[in-house]
Amino acid sequence: MATEPSENVGTTLVLDNDKVRVWDLALKPGESLAKHIHRTDYFFIIESGGLIRFADPDNPSDYKDVQFEDGQVTFVDVGPEGHVDNRLTNIGSKAHHNYVIELK
C-alpha cells in the first residue's frame, strides 16, 4: 500500500488567510518532513540552505539529492492535479530552513 501524502508542506503553519498559506520548514541534520502534496502554486525562500534528499518512502532506493543555497527563491507552478514531494530528509551537516508560501 502506497504512503498517502500529508497536507503539511512545512514543519509549522505560520499564517493562513484567504490569499496565502505560509509554512516554516526547518530541518536539523537527520530530520525529515513526510511525503506531502502541494495543491496550489507556491514559492519558497531559502533562509539557510542545506543538502536535502527527496526519497520515496515506499522505495528508498528512489531518491534525489538537492543542494539548496542561502537566499534562493523558487516558484513552482503546481497545476490542477497537485504536486507530490517525497519525504525530505536533511542529509547535510547544518540546519536547513526555508519558508513555503502557497498562493490561494
Nearest alpha carbon to residue 39 among 91, 98, 103: 103
Quick one: pLDDT at residue 13? Answer: 98
CA distance 55 to 64: 7
pTM of the prediction?
0.92
**What domains lie within the chain, and their CATH numbers?**
12-103 (2.60.120.10)
Q: pLDDT tens digits for 40-55?
A: 999 999 999 999 999 9
C-alpha cell at 80: 490542477
Nearest alpha carbon to residue 90 among 33, 20, 13: 33
